[in-house]
Chain A
């Protein structure tokens, strides 16, 4: 019964989405506020319906209702409760339902915060949002119904894919989807601007918070996916240039470009047409990512079951939205008035350069990802484009971008002083150079790029900090004055500095992988092995029984200078329900670096093992979190939020009001 209610609610959501797609757009065209007003209630109603539907599916998974096909195929009574819940989106149908749920959440958010928007813009934005919702709800109901029944119901489910039985499944997909889907709002705003033929700084101020939310979550989602792949695949790698990873990197690159260009538009009313174009591109890449991952054109852990019908449907959605938006852009963009002027050497100029680097690297990733697919369709020849391609194109462009980041931050708007900026960055540059030279001297073999990357990272980190330091210092002052000045700086300035600092931290983590150590060995119990600065030895090898698996656990002690600093328990798990085994790597973090041990088969009392020492590797993901924190700080800047109610001064009287 609950399952049928879920199905009914989903159908209801589609009906509401259709109303939301048609009525407000019609109303906006006629400037009829009554018709536009329909949008908000339908958006909120749609959210309620999708949430009910999602809750029904969660309930079916929780009680292991195997009469539901989705539950029978992806759950098992012995699965721990947490994986019963996360298993809801550990399959095609459920993950699409999560996609739509997040879409509805964003739609409702816009509906709530859109009261401050001019009515025509509000009607168009929510109308376009309704179109997107309708398309995806129809996709679920027609091709991927999660509520399909199974008769007769089996006594036991087929179990969740053991690779997915991991806390990562609870975090990675929701974060990633919040990012992917968040860009739909940005897209809707761009489409609305084009329909109306009007875009201004106020538009940029409305869009920016949503873009920052989407960007921050996408950053976290990608980082989480990377860390999950790192610890679960047992290869010690964190980025494989796999098409699925590229599918998430492309919207990130386009979104990063958008977050920067929208700042120019908001401050200087320049780059209008370009910003609108980027908004379309960012969400188009999100859709492309959904298509690549969900249609089964790629072989990957993310492609659950491939079904040609679904692929065609998503391709149609993709073509309709991307094609429609680009056609609208070609038709209406000339209406958008040209914006302000700026000198090439200025903050705006630097941000244009940033956009150039980001979009070209995005194009390079797209080429490498889609070229094999296109070639296979055209000639039947199967190829893969390997990591060297991406490292050389995207990697080189992004490293070049890192070199100009600190300059962009220290140039003034409108007309900048390149020499002055260079002087201010001299210390950061010198420090980076020293680090690079010192590391190069200390290095024995290994890639030359590693010390260069590390030096560049130090330069970016110091450059980002020096911008803030220069603003606070200004000829020196007592600590309390500095503190007051720090509080007085706009949060968006802090956000930018922190986000750029995060870029440096991630780059440092990436560069330091060049200084790691790796051994593949067959080790007897008690036999020591040197890995980097540590010595690893296995102490025991024992079987253990988990809730729905059996495992062979090796206990390894990690010593430094004779003393045990840590023990880890890498294991090999066997899941009888699917007759599958997985590798659980034993990982311990020591001084921000990690010892990573994954075991293979046992052979005559010796354990096959891969041992890694990865210095400062955690910085890769810490840096991503710092970037997202920067996004959150910017988001918290009240100056940038139109429609946020004016701060109640009485309640907060003792606090100094913020500058600006």
Chain B
């Protein structure tokens, strides 16, 4: 094979692998992007039930109900709008009422959310950044006021 032929083979193989990767990437990206919204945004944007998303806000005090088999329900609020969340499983150590939380799952009906993952902050000093931003948008966040 000539030098040119070899180079063409190499470029051909490279293009195939890259095309394969780009195809996979585009296909996978379509299904696995999850949007993050605060409760108010869900109400404003009129998000359709069935959409997979992340909801962030504060766990509304007095709404956490624990039932059998690790089932829990609570309300995520940004003090303007609420979303009712159901979840089965263990929650992170720092999950509690009045604290910031991010829930990932599926919106079952307007205002009703079923979470399959609950994320809380790792350290009592910090809020999930998305939650801070969502609360800021609603003007409910005071700098330094923390939790």
- Which listed segment binds B: A129-137, A171-179, A386-394? A386-394
List, in ascending order, chain B residues with CB within 8 A of A387's CB.
32
Query: Is the CB–CB distance between A389 and B14 below 8 Å?
Result: no
Query: Is the CB–CB distance between A352 and B10 below 8 Å?
Result: yes
List, in ascending order, chain B residues with CB within 8 A of A582's CB.
93
Query: Is the CB–CB distance between B36 and A384 below 8 Å?
Result: yes
Query: Is the CB–CB distance between A299 and B90 below 8 Å?
Result: no
Looking at B1, B33, B35, B130, the one whose CB has the most chain A CB atoms below 10 A away is: B33
Given contacts A343-B6, A610-B89, 20 further A-B contacts (CB under 8 A): A300-B122, A301-B123, A305-B125, A306-B129, A360-B21, A363-B21, A382-B54, A385-B29, A385-B32, A385-B34, A386-B34, A389-B25, A392-B24, A393-B21, A520-B69, A520-B89, A579-B124, A580-B94, A600-B90, A603-B66
List, in ascending order, chain B residues with CB within 8 A of A360's CB.
17-18, 21
Q: Which residue of B lies closest to A386 (CB)?
A: B32
What size tier do the contact residues of chain A reach?
35 or more
CB distance from B137 to the nearest CB of A (A): 10
Question: A583 contacts the other chain (Cβ, under 8 Å)?
Answer: yes
Question: B68 contacts the other chain (Cβ, under 8 Å)?
Answer: yes
Encoded as 1 (CB less than 8 Å from any A CB) or 0, chain B from 60 to 102 comes to 0000001011100000000000000000111101100000000
CB distance from B95 to the nearest CB of A (A): 10
Query: Is the CB–CB distance between A384 and B21 below 8 Å?
Result: no
Q: Which residue of A lies closest to B2 (CB)?
A: A341
Q: Which one of B3, B13, B90 lies within 8 Å of A234 (CB-CB)?
A: B90
What is the bound-complex CA distance between A357 and B35, given in angstroms?
30
What size tier do the contact residues of chain B reach?
35 or more
Question: A353 contacts the other chain (Cβ, under 8 Å)?
Answer: yes
Q: Which 10 A-B pairs give the minimum distances between C-beta atoms? A: A382-B36, A392-B28, A389-B32, A388-B32, A360-B21, A386-B32, A301-B122, A600-B90, A389-B28, A299-B129
Q: Which residue of A lies closest to B24 (CB)?
A: A393
> What is the interface of chain B, defined by CB distance below 8 A to chain A?
1, 3, 6, 9-10, 13-14, 17-18, 20-21, 24-25, 27-29, 31-37, 54, 66, 68-70, 88-91, 93-94, 104, 121-126, 128-130, 133
Query: Is the CB–CB distance between A600 and B21 below 8 Å?
Result: no
Query: Is the CB–CB distance between B21 and A522 below 8 Å?
Result: no
List, in ascending order, chain B residues with CB within 8 A of A299's CB.
121, 126, 128-130
Encoded as 1 (CB less than 8 Å from any B CB) or 0, chain A from 261 to 289 comes to 00000000000000000000000000000
Query: Is the CB–CB distance between A356 and B17 below 8 Å?
Result: yes
CB distance from B93 to the nearest CB of A (A): 5
List, in ascending order, chain B residues with CB within 8 A of A391's CB.
28
List, in ascending order, chain A residues with CB within 8 A of B121's CB.
299
Determine chain A's interface SS by DSSP, over half rule: mixed
Q: Which one of A300, A367, A384, A522 lies within 8 Å of B25 (CB-CB)?
A: A367
Encoded as 1 (CB less than 8 Å from any B CB) or 0, chain A from 560 to 601 comes to 000000000000100000111111000000000000001011
List, in ascending order, chain A residues with CB within 8 A of B9's CB.
344
CB distance from A383 to the nearest CB of B (A): 5
Query: Is the CB–CB distance between B24 and A396 below 8 Å?
Result: yes
List, in ascending order, chain A residues with CB within 8 A of B31's CB.
388-389
CB distance from A95 to the nearest CB of B (A): 15
What is the bound-complex CA distance between A163 and B91, given in angstroms?
16
Query: Is the CB–CB distance between A522 and B33 below 8 Å?
Result: no
26 contacts between A and B (CB under 8 A): A163-B122, A299-B126, A299-B129, A299-B130, A300-B122, A344-B1, A344-B9, A361-B21, A364-B24, A368-B29, A383-B34, A385-B33, A386-B34, A388-B28, A388-B32, A389-B25, A389-B28, A389-B31, A391-B28, A520-B88, A578-B124, A580-B93, A580-B94, A581-B93, A598-B90, A600-B70
Encoded as 1 (CB less than 8 Å from any B CB) or 0, chain A from 360 to 382 comes to 11011001100100000000011
Q: Which residue of B lies closest to A396 (CB)?
A: B24
Question: A517 contacts the other chain (Cβ, under 8 Å)?
Answer: no
